């Protein structure tokens, strides 16, 4: 019985670590997305960091990526930059891989 409990605790600890790592990857991806989007919108220097932070913080509005997508699409629309949701999500996937690699 004790070894089963130890295994269960081990799985719970691994799950917790995996969830923490995934949170870090998503936050890093969102920061990279914010930096990329800022560049696309012509922001540079001191404006890039705060915009990237806005993108990261926008992820806390709703579960999933929809809130981040909505923010970036709206900001691009305000600047007259044409990008569709599919292209943006593809960029997010690319940046997720970059974020995962950076955090490894």
Give the list of residues 6+ apart from residue 88 with CB closer than 8 angstroms, or none. 69, 72, 73
* Model confidence pLDDT, tens digit, residues 21-56: 999 999 999 999 999 999 999 998 899 999 999 999
The two structure tokens encoding residue 9: 């605790």
The secondary structure of 72-99, three-state, reads HHHHHHHCCCCCCHHHHHHHHHHHHHHH
CATH class given for the domain over 26-103: mainly alpha
Q: Would you place residue 5 in the very low, low, confident or very high pLDDT band (cuts 50, 70, 90)?
A: confident
Q: Work out the average pLDDT over 10-28.
A: 89
Domain limits, the chain: 26-103
User: pLDDT (tens digit, 9 = 90+) per residue, 56-96?
Assistant: 999 998 888 999 999 999 999 999 999 999 999 999 999 99
**pLDDT of 1 strictly over 70:** no
């Amino acid at each position: 019985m004790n070894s089963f409990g130890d295994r269960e605790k081990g799985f719970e600890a691994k799950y917790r670590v995996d969830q923490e790592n995934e949170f870090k990857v998503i936050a890093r991806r969102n920061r990279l997305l914010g930096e990329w989007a800022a560049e696309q919108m012509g922001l540079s220097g001191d404006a890039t960091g705060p915009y990237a932070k806005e993108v990261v913080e926008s992820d806390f509005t709703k579960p999933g990526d929809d809130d981040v997508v909505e923010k970036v699409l709206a900001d691009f629309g305000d600047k007259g930059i044409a990008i569709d949701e599919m292209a943006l999500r593809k960029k997010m996937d690319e940046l997720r891989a970059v974020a995962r690699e950076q955090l490894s």
